[in-house]
Structure 1
Amino acid sequence: MLTGTIHPNSSLFQLHHLRTLNLAHNAFFSSIPHNIGRLTNLRHLNLSHSFFEGEIPTEISYLSNLVSLELNCYGCELDERTFETILQNFTNLEVVSLFGVNISSPIPLNISSSSLKYVDLGFTNLRGVLTESFFLLPKLEMLYLNYNDLLKGGLPKIHPSNTLLELHISFTGISGELPDSIGTFSSLNRLNMYGCQLSGRVPDSIGNLTQIRYLAFSYNHFTGHIPSTISKLKHLSYLKLSSNSFSGEIPDIFSNLQELRSLYLHNNSFIGSFPSTIVSLTHLQYLDLSSNSLSGPLPNNFSMLQKLTQLDLSYNALNGTIPSSVFSLPLLPQLWLDNNRFSGLPTELKTIPTLESLDLSHNQLSGSFPQSLVNLTSLSTLDLSSNNITIDEGIQITFPSLQDLWLSSCELKDIPHFLTNVKKLQVLDISNNKIRGQIPNWFSGMRWDNLSYLTLSHNSLTGHLQQFNFHNLRYLDLKFNSLQGPIPSSICNMNDLQFLDLSRNDFSNSIPSCLGSMSSLTVLDLRRNNFTGSLPSLCAQSTSLSTIYLNGNQFEGTLPMSLLNCSDLEVLDMGNNAINDTFPAWLGTLQQMQVLILKSNLFHGPISTCQTTFCFPKLRIFDLSRNKFSGSLPAKVFGNFKAMIKLDGEGTGEIKYMEPSEMSSDDSVSLVIKGQDIELERISTIMTTIDLSCNHFEGVIPKTLKDLSSLWLLNLSHNNLIGHIPMELGQLNKLEALDLSWNRLTGKIPQELTRLTFLEKLNVSQNVLFGPIPLGPQFNTFENDSYGGNLDLCGPPLSKQCGTSDPSHVPQPLESEDESYFFSGFTWESVVIGYSCGLVVGTVVWSLMFKYRKPKWFVEFFEGIYPKKMRRSMKRAQRRRT
């Protein structure tokens, strides 16, 4: 518990005959004194884990008699020259441990300290390539180079060693194939190459490491089969080959590995049946074969694995019935068999007394809810989602420890009545069932004081929503039902509510003003109901709202200025209402806003600019279509759209998505995308759109639109635009759909538009364009409807040949704006089809909570008992740590 600094004139440095100095595990929070170099007779120096910081003094290089040097320190730095001196001039040095020290230099080519036995340079920011210098040390027993991601190159030439016991190079940039010479480390008992960039096949010579106990190749790029020679490793306790590209059947090699405690083969491409010899491993504690393509039934003798504490067989294609022997394992706290093809619940369940989490979801289970599950008194999480389970109304189930219950997509016709006996419920999901009628009074009257998550979405619930007593709810999802009437006032008492989704119902009346004052609310989704009246003062008390969906109601009046308090607002969708207002330029001060949808309202007047320096800097989706906006197109406003100027993640080849808020299911919006009203389940950051169609804009198309280099969709149709199509639009090289139809544009179609190599849909119909249609890779794919109504356009695909026009004919502007916006069915809503880059879209997307991200509160609140749909990525991250 020593604290403070060590004074440079401390009498400590007068102890010239000192051989051993150990100040480890204290709390100095100071730099290492330079006078440490005066203790030249030191043999052992240990300053590890004492919160020293700053530069390690160069005077430490004076201590050339050191036998052991331990300076493990996260806040220290060591210059390259001193580092080389330690490894080259300290000829007596046997132990050097510098874990966490920022060295930021290459490994010396020559290491003269031939006495070295233990070297730990983990997490030291080593750079360059791994040289063979360490592998030439004659006495080396342990080498740790892990957590140095800037250490690149392949494995150097490996020299045979009968001294090396442990080699750890995990989480480095080491790449290439594993050489056959790896098998010459005859004394090796731990080999950790976890999380590198290794590829190719694991050589058969791995079977020569007959003393090995720990072998970890997880999170690499290995391919091919598991070498059968692994069966020779009779001392092996831990085998971790997960998250690679291994294929073929898992070889039945385990009968010889009787010391095996952990077997991790998950997240590969294994096929075939479950290796039957695994159940002979009587010492096995951890078994994970999940996320492969295993098929067939499970063996019946799982009861042999009496020491098993983790069993994960999820995300395979296993079938048949679940053997009852699985439920007789005495030490198992978590059992994951979800996402297989098991049919039928076991007819005889021997209960696991320690079982806390049981996930059988996404199988083909059917039949009655097993009465024998009642005996699982330790069960805290039960997931039977996506099966066909019937629950007898009279079944007596108490589940004294149950906290999380997931019964979504189970063909339920009623809310299970046994819930009256469950007192500690925290999470309840009975969504996607066939529950009809009103929510029963007994359910609304339950007092689940710890209930934080409740979803009854995607059912056929009707009637008025009763008052709830669930005052500690954080997540409430009732979407896709037929609930009616006003929102109950009890929602205002949910002080911790962060996510509220009442969308796709028949709620009516005005929405409670309290929703604008709930400081915890992050996501508010009331779209597609029958709410009326004016909007309440949302964010009246500077709330944390990041997502607001009010699309598809009958709201009137103006947008509340209180929205200025929503400093974290990212998505605002007010489309398809009757809001009568001018353009809310003041929303541009919200620096996080990425989606603004005001379509199909009564907005009017020009689009004015906001008065701040940074206006709408992150905006990606800008939809003002089907309003009464007028004036010229706002070139200055477009110039503020910085997020449309630079494509997020450009050049990485990776699609990124808007980060959902903590309590959000993935943000989704309805847009007119290549022809239809499409619901985007996730808003990609490459989805940059401007839709100003069906308004009364005048004047010319601004040339400055060319600066929006990441623009994906541009729709200016059904306005009163004049002038030429700017040739500068040919610089929008990400553009996939362009609709300029139903305007008064004149002149020729610019040849420069043929540069738009991603352009899938073009509509310039119903203008007064003339001249030949440009020829180009994309233009050759557009059909007649793209050009209809322009009497003086010619050339393919039109039948009219160029040079045949009446020279006396002068193009005339359109005489009437009363033409149907849906001329020939070829407006923007029928133009846009498909989508590149693999973005998943659908006419209606059934978004589920936590499909792509787990909220922080849930991670903290339910640690250790997550259902698979919420915990998979966290479980993988945890395995990385362990």
Structure 2
Amino acid sequence: MATFERDHCVLNHVLFHIIIASTFFLSLKITASPTTEAQVLVKWKNSLVYTPFLNSWSLSNIHNLCSSWDAVVCDKTTNTTVSEIYLSGFDLSGTLHGLDFASLPNLTHLDLNHNSFIGSIPPQIGSLSKLIFLDFGSNNFSGTVPYEMGHLRELEYLSFYDNSFNGAISYQVISLPKVCYLDFGLNYFASPPHWSDYSCMPSLTHLDLSSNSFTPEFPSFIMKCHNLTFLDLSQNYFNGTIPESLYTNLAKLQYLNLSGCGMEGPLSSNISKLSNLKELGMGDNNFTGPIPMEIGFIAGLQILELHNISARGEIPSSLGQLMQLRFLDLGGNFLNSSIPLELGSCIHLTCLDLSGNNLSGPLPFSLSNLTKLSELVLSYNSISGQLSASLISNWTELISLQLQQNLLTGKVPPEIGLFKKIQYLLLYSNEFSGPIPKEIGSMREMISLDFSENNFSGTIPSTILNLTNIELIDLFMNEITGTIPREIGNLKSLFYFDVEKNNLEGELPNSIAQLTGLKYFSVFSNNLSGSIFSFSRLANLIFLDLSKNNLSGRIPIDCETFNTSSLKILNLSHNNLAGIIPQCLGTLPSLTVLDLHMNNLCGTLPRIFPKGNVLDTIKLNGNFLEGALPKSLAHCTKLQVLDVGENSIEDTFPSWLGLLQELQVLILRANKFYGTFSNSSNIRDAHAFPKLRVFDVSNNYFSGSLPISFLKNFQGMMNVNYTQTGLQYMSANSSGYRSYFASIVVNMKDQPVELVKILMTFTTIDLSNNLLEGEIPQIIGEIDSLKGLNLSHNRISGTIPQTLGNLRNLEWLDLSWNQIRGEIPLALTNLNFLSVLNVSQNQLEGAIPTGGQFNTFQNDSYGGNEMLCGFPLSKSCSGNEDNERTSSSLTFEDEETFGFGWKPVAVGYACGVVVGVLLGCYFFYTGNPQWLARFLGIRISNKSVRKKNKRKNRVHARS
């Protein structure tokens, strides 16, 4: 026994010395000198691409590593080895692969946040066994996170936030025992095979997995993280309902964000078990049902975001119990109650957003208690009543007040001037009336003032000139009178000014030319007069609309100094401008819309339209322009609308315009075009005018036969998908502000009707008032989406082709004043939408068909055809019923030919009686289509009539 004990002691003694020796040698291995560490850091620095703030890292300064090297901290006990490196925001770029981590064994803190590092994380980082703090956030790292990071057993803080990491998060990384802060947010991490295989780090209190590519399983391991106080899973692709265990297992949560996760199902009433919550975000999900009243029991809640979650029902009155609530966002839901009085008890609210719901009723007076409000957003509801002075007087901290798109009425009280801090005041699309309060001049911080689409009257208050920080003034569509303040040019920050559709008079102030930051300016449809301010030097101008006023003089552009290269939309139409069109308008690099129609401009069109221009709309109609069309228009490859009608342009048919593959509207009406429609440019017929939908060459001197070679390729008028297109209008949206809508004038029964907007499904061909001859080509019957066809006042002969019965969408047809003979085809009774028909002054004969829309047409549709008989003419067809031609005489074969049986005809007849009587009888009998304009959203162009009368000497007499 003694021998055993002695041997045991000897063994212990030997082992002790072996351990001591091993420890000594190991310490020799891992202990690095300051010289070695300095060399390692300098070597890494030299491998980086950009190091603007690391000049102190130099081998010449090697002995001062711990005292004078920026961003380096040495061990406090020895002051010889590097323990902490803080490079956050040093604007560094490069990789980590030049850094020898093994030579920094005592490193505890490494902060590389907010730089421009790229590449992957080297596996050698796992050798930093003493590391406590590691921040890679806000860089451009990519690749997967190496599993060797699981060796960092002392790590407490780890952030990968805002990089491009991908792949699954390894088990080794997510199970570090001491980590309390873990941030994987804003990367491309994907879900591992089974979240349930993961165990939660016992010390974890902060977990951010937001804005990644996690799908679709909710990370179940989180339910084991009982110490979590912060959890952000927002902006991922989970689905299903929130696990009930979240509410019971994570009772310590103070911050929970599940916004934009695709979560479904009802919000659980168990949410109140998260009694320590201060911030709750669940917006942008697909929850169903009401907002649970139990949310109001989370007494310490300060921020509540439930926007866009499809919530229905009432706003819970229990929210009034959240006495610490500072931010409440319930916008974008289907809440249909009134605003509960109890919200007035949340006296610490700084932001209240209830926008985009179905809320109704007046604003409760209790909201006057919310004296700390900086943002109140109640827009896009049906809130009614008035803004009382007593209600708004306490909102003196407001920075943003958004009440637009409601039903508010009455005057805006002068107490609104108490909003000294207000920057955004948006009251548009309500029913406010009375004058704009002059007290707005005291809102010196104002940036955006939008009172548009109301019933404000009176003048623009001169105090508006006190708003020296104002950027946007929008008074569109009110009843404002008076003038634009002359000193408006003093508002140096102004970039948006819109007073469209008011009753302003006087002249445009010249000081507007001083607004160097101006981007959008519109005074459309007022009574302004005088000349136009010089806008040649407004380099930032994008949208300029001065149309529908009484402006005169020349277009104030000096092409030598013209600097408005950003101009996209220029609309000076419907004025009294004279002189020539400045040639440089065709060369502006950003211009998409050039609209100068209905003025008194003379001279020629701009001759130079350079290659690469982006013009999509050119409207110069209703002027006194001469000469030929410039061939450089062929460079306008994006052109959709070209209207040069009602001028004195003299040229042959510009077949070369067929090269413009986007052209949809071509109007050459009432000029001096002549010759035939020959394809003089040798364009392949199949490629000419493929998208054309409006073709108007009326009132010219074109001769020869109808343009068959072009008509057969008008693909834009064939097989239009009305269901897909819907009520979409042609517009130029490139200004970034209100859309510009191209308008056109069409002739219906010799009445000029202006379509203020052009439906994408609108198609018409007008060849009237020319010298055309020959027969109507059968090919027209293939243009099956055509709504209007006018061939009147020509020398067309032959018969009306049966194929016109294929034009099932046709709404008006005018073949009058020609030499057409034969009978009116029965096939035309298939045209169930035909509301206007004129075949008068021809050589037609036989019985007029009956049935369908033909029962609605009156005598003037057929006058001047001596051989026609039957209803509605007083001349009967010999009284023999066998000779009467009605729609019932169509045979089965006829019905198959036109694809129409008796049932659609019956339906069409019903429609025809209503539509035809309204659009035909009343329209023709009264000669006053104003009611039609209001019904269809069109207007009769009185100014167009004025211009037409002024040009009577140009109208050709046709026999």
TM norm structure 1: 0.70
* 2:713 is the counterpart of 1:713: no
Return the match for 1:280 from 325, 336, 345: 345
2:938 corresponds to 1:842: yes
- Distance in 2 between residues matched to 1:774 and 1:86, nearest whole Å: 82
Aligned-residue offset at 1:612: 5.9
Q: 2:240 aligns with which of 155, 159, 164?
A: 155
User: Structure 1 residues 115 and 244 mapped into 2: Cα distance closer, same or farther (>3 Å)?
Assistant: closer
Structure-2 residue corresponding to 1:379: 446
Q: Distance in 2 between matches of 1:845 and 1:222?
A: 52
**Alignment check: 8 A CA contact 1:693 1:715 kept:** no
- Whether contact under 8 Å (1:454, 1:475) holds in the other structure is yes
Contact 1:324–1:346 (CA<8 Å) still a contact in 2?
no
Give me the whole-angstrom Cα distance separating, in 2, the residues matched to 1:494 and 1:335.
Answer: 40
Q: Partner of 1:495: helix, strand, or coil?
A: coil
What aligned pairs does 1:549-560 form with structure 2 within 5 A after superposition? 549-560=619-630
Deviation track 1:449-500 (CA, whole Å, cap 9, x = no partner) reads: 4444433332223455576797455443322222334334579865224433
Q: Distance in 2 between the 1:108 and 1:834 partners?
A: 68
Counterpart among 374, 389, 401 of residue 323 in structure 1: 389
Amino acid at match of 1:842: I
SS at match of 1:229: helix
1:434 pairs with 503, 520, 523, which one?
A: 503
Whole-Å Cα distance in 2 between the matches of residues 256 and 845 of structure 1? 61
CA–CA distance in structure 2, aligned partners of residues 91 and 401 of structure 1: 54
Distance 1:498 1:20, change over 3 A: closer
- Which residue identity does 1:505 align to in structure 2? N
Q: Identify the match of residue 882 of structure 2 among 794, 804, 817.
A: 804
2:220 corresponds to 1:134: yes
Q: 1:325 to 1:624 in 2, by over 3 A?
A: same
Q: What CA RMSD, in Å, does the superposition of the two structures yield over aligned residues?
A: 5.7
Rounded to whole Å, the distance in 1 between the matches of 2:756 and 2:261 is 32
Say if 2:524 is the partner of 1:457: yes
Aligned residues: 781
1:51 matched to 2:147? The reply is no
Structure 2: distance between partners of 1:575 and 1:565: 21
Residue 783 of structure 1: aligned partner: 855
Which residues in structure 2 correspond to 1:848-859 (within 5 Å)? Answer: none
Aligned AA (1:238): I
Cα pair distance change 1:686/1:110, threshold 3 Å: farther
SS of the aligned residue for 1:500 comes to: strand
1:397-796 equivalence runs, <5 A:
398-417=466-485, 419=487, 422-424=490-492, 426=494, 427-436=496-505, 438-439=506-507, 447-465=514-532, 471=538, 473-489=541-557, 495-496=563-564, 497-537=567-607, 539=609, 544-604=614-674, 605-606=676-677, 608=679, 611=682, 615-616=688-689, 618-632=691-705, 634=707, 637=710, 651=724, 655=728, 658-662=731-735, 665-672=739-746, 679-687=754-762, 689-692=764-767, 695=770, 696=772, 698-699=774-775, 701=777, 703=779, 706=782, 711=785, 713=787, 715=789, 717-718=791-792, 720=796, 725=801, 730=806, 735=809, 737=811, 739=813, 741-742=815-816, 744=820, 759=833, 765=839, 780=852, 783-785=855-857
- Aligned-pair CA distance for 1:622: 3.7
Report the CA distance shift for 1:102/1:290 in structure 2 as closer, same or farther (over 3 A): closer
Letter matched to residue 340 of structure 2: P
Deviates more, 1:479-488 or 1:189-198: 189-198
Worse overlay, 590-599 or 553-562? 590-599
Q: Does 1:356 align with 2:423?
A: yes
CA contact (8 A) 2:848 2:868 kept: no
Listed as ranges, the matches of 1:281-360 within 5 Å are 281-292=346-357, 294=359, 297-299=362-364, 304-315=369-380, 316-323=382-389, 326-339=392-405, 340-348=407-415, 351-360=418-427
Q: 1:264 matched to which residue of 2?
A: 329
Q: Indicate the larger mover: 552-561 or 657-666.
A: 657-666
- How big is the shift at 1:419? 3.6
Contact kept, 8 Å, 1:772 with 1:802, in 2: the verdict is: no
Flag the 1:205–1:534 CA change in 2: closer, same or farther, 3 A.
Answer: same
The SS at the match of 1:715 is: strand
CA distance in 2, matches of 1:448, 1:288: 34
Match of 2:343, SS state, is: helix
Identity of aligned residues (%): 28
> Aligned equivalents of 1:197 and 1:690: distance in 2?
54
Contact 1:794 1:802 in 2 (8 A): no
Deviation per residue, 1:342-376 (Å, 9 max, x gap): 42342545633322233344555555654543333
The offset of 1:155, in angstroms, is 1.1
**2:377 and 2:403 in contact (8 A); partners too:** yes
Larger radius of gyration, structure 1 or 2?
A: 2
Unaligned runs of 5+ in 2: 1-90, 886-918, 943-959
Query: Which one-letter code corresponds to 2:341 in the other structure?
Result: S
> Cα distance, 1:608 vs. partner?
2.6
Give the counterpart letter for 2:789 in structure 1: N
Whether contact under 8 Å (1:222, 1:245) holds in the other structure is: yes
- Output the amino acid matched with 1:432: K
Question: Residue 865 of structure 1 corresponds to which residue in structure 2?
Answer: none
Cα deviation code 1:407-458 (max 9, x no counterpart) = 445544321557469442624434433334x417x65698444444433332
Separation of aligned partners in 2, 1:382 and 1:582: 52
Is the CA contact 2:241–2:264 (under 8 Å) kept in the aligned structure 1?
no
TM-score, scaled relative to structure 2: 0.65
Kindly tell me: are residues 796 and 388 of structure 1, through their superposed partners in 2, closer, same or farther at Cα, counting changes over 3 Å? closer
8 Å CA contact retained: 2:690, 2:713: yes
CA drift of 1:256 comes to: 0.3
Map 1:87-236 → 2, pairs under 5 A:
97=184, 99-101=186-188, 108=193, 111-115=196-200, 130-131=216-217, 134=220, 138-139=224-225, 146-147=234-235, 155=240, 158-161=243-246, 189-194=255-260, 196=262, 207=272, 209-216=274-281, 218-219=283-284, 226-236=291-301
Report deviation, 1:512.
3.5
CA distance in 2, matches of 1:750, 1:622: 27
Question: Does 2:465 match 1:390?
Answer: no
Alpha-carbon contact 1:444-1:469 (below 8 Å) kept: no
What are the superposed Cα offsets for residues 150-175 of structure 1, whole Å, 9 maximum, x if unpaired? x6xx615835235765xxxxxxxxxx
Q: Distance in 2 between matches of 1:549 and 1:841?
A: 21
Greater helix share, structure number: 2
Supply the AA of the counterpart residue of 1:434: N
Question: 2:5 maps to what in 1?
Answer: none
Question: SS at the partner of 1:460?
Answer: coil
Equivalent AA in structure 2 for residue 192 of structure 1: L
Shift of 1:717: 3.7
CA distance in 1, matches of 2:374, 2:931: 47
Gaps of 5+ in 1: 166-184, 808-821, 847-882
Range moving further from structure 2, 479-488 or 201-210 = 201-210
Letter in 2 for 1:113: Y
Q: Which moved more, 1:273-282 or 1:86-95?
A: 86-95
